[in-house]
Amino acid sequence: MRSGQRIAHLNISLMPVWKCFFFAGLLSFACLISHFNQPGSAESDAMTALSQTSLPATSPPSGLEPVSLEATSETDTATKPETTPLETDAPARRGLPAPLESPPFPSGEWQIGGTPMIGVPDTMDTYALMDSIKKTEFGRYLNRHRIKLYGWVDVGANISSSSRSNQPAAYAIYSNQVHLDQLLLRVERLPDTVQQDHIDWGFHLSNIYGIDYRYTNTKGIFSGQKTRNRRYGYDPILAYVDVYFPKIARGATLRVGRYLSIPDIEGQLAPDNYMFTHSLLYTFDTFTQQGGLLTVKLNDQWQVQGGLAVGNDVSFWTNGRKLTGIAGVQWISKNNRDSIYLVANSINDARYSINNVQQNNITWSHHFRAFHDRWHTKTEAYYIWLHHVPASVLPRNVSPGFTNAYGAVNYLVGRINSKAFVTFRNEILNDQQGQRTGFATAYTSHGFGVTYWLNKSMAIRPEFRYERSYATRAYNQGTKKDQFMGAVDLIVRF
């Protein structure tokens, strides 16, 4: 969905099988909540034990007393999550400890895009595909060279007050249906950014198939699928090389290739998100870029970024390319409870072209001291604009020329236990001329969801959301001003 072009919608009748899937999700949600409230359950006992301490439960060295977080200077203490078995055997981090726990959260780090985490060891678990080949010669070769082969399947369903389409909501755009959102296969090698002795390198290739291709698809790479409005499609969404330079400041990385745009709280790939569906704010900005991006870690509190791309969602061999600058800076507080991330994601002449939106983002993240360190919040705001926009891509009665949009989204996230968390999402988006969404109106959206990891490979994410447009009817293909949706997806890693 680029530059005000709306996707034609398929009005397919409701399939009975989808009801079973959706209500299975609701049943799982109910069972999850009731399980946490059962006295004597492992989760209940763990929550009770944690509620009696001010820090996550860890064992102090012999002869030392635990230190209360409230009794420690905020400027001298970094947030320390519970130790997991995976972390116990991992190389030591070089820098501040992880501010959040992952799992259950998608990431344990403060947000920064376009780089592997500098000074952070690779502690990701292996899944069925790697486990099945680890004793073969091929598996041993991959292990020796730190190459991983894995992926996931993400299947979603929704029940909606709209009958024709759920757009502008994303990614569950087909109302009242079951759909394959993502089938992804990935091969990657992460550079070792903990060591400071030698230059290291890595690479990343990800291939996606499903209905979500229409959001990641870029001009020049199988873009005819989207032109023909195919329901399912394929996209080689990521293809890049990382080079790590240990002697530049505290470490630096250079990423070259096709990579995800760097500013957002959310990401295109299912396991990277707090919820199944996406915010409106995220839906209508840049998705991928092709070029080079340098990230330099100055110290434990500051990282800076700069790069050049050929535009937004466009390939360097197409006529839509445009030399585009990228700049970013991340700050983390000394106590590791706050982070601010500023990004100018597209710096060029701002003339209308293939999704050539100019975009400035700011994200503030905070880990609350209260409630036993279980809650954190992230708030992102952006302003985007374009010049010389033709009338053909704007709603009727909107003058061509300058267009802009702005908005903000807030995530409030609470950990239930090591397998589950809850998310509250609230946002506002004002698409003043309708160039992004196809309707010149302001929107609000409110969502609540639960993520529960059944095991290390499977997660279920039920959610509910309500959204509204104000100046015009933007939902159900322009026939309604508001929309209610219940949705659920199942992620299976392999």
Q: Is residue 445 part of a domain?
A: yes
Q: Is residue 50 part of a domain?
A: no
Q: Is residue 386 part of a domain?
A: yes
Q: Which helix (H) or strand (E) holds 304?
A: strand 302-309
Mean pLDDT of 239-263: 98
pLDDT class of 340 with cuts at 50, 70, 90: very high
Domain count, the chain: 1
Q: Is residue 66 part of a domain?
A: no
Is the pLDDT at 368 greater than 70? The verdict is yes
- Residue 341's DSSP bridge partners are 330, 363
Q: Kindly report, residue by residue over 393-448, the tens digit of the pLDDT.
A: 999 999 999 999 999 999 999 999 999 999 999 999 999 999 999 999 999 999 99
Coil, strand or helix at 104: coil
- What is the average pLDDT value for the chain, to the nearest integer? 86
Mean pLDDT of 92-97: 92
User: What is the C-alpha separation between 386 and 285, in angstroms, rounded?
Assistant: 12
- Residue 278's DSSP bridge partners are 170
Confidence at residue 90, expressed as pLDDT on a 0 to 100 scale: 54
Mean pLDDT of 185-194: 98
User: What is the C-alpha separation between 441 and 445, in angstroms, rounded?
Assistant: 13
Amino acid at position 464, single letter: F
Q: Is residue 410 part of a domain?
A: yes
Q: Kindly report, residue by residue over 191-238, the tens digit of the pLDDT.
A: 999 999 999 999 999 999 999 999 998 999 998 898 788 899 999 999
Residue 336: C-alpha distances to residues 97, 98, 178, 344, 427 (Å): 8, 8, 41, 24, 26
Mean pLDDT of 379-394: 96
Is the pLDDT at 282 greater than 80? The verdict is yes
Of residues 147, 177, 152, the one with CA closest to residue 485:
177
Q: Phi, psi at residue 270, to the nearest 5°?
A: -50, -50
Q: Which domain holds residue 164?
A: 16-33+123-493
Q: Is residue 104 part of a domain?
A: no
Q: Is residue 437 part of a domain?
A: yes
Confidence at residue 320, expressed as pLDDT on a 0 to 100 scale: 85
Residue with tokens 């985490």: 117
- Residue 360's DSSP bridge partners are 344, 383
CATH value at residue 438: 2.40.160.10
The pTM for the full model equals 0.82
Q: Is residue 111 part of a domain?
A: no
pLDDT class of 477 with cuts at 50, 70, 90: very high
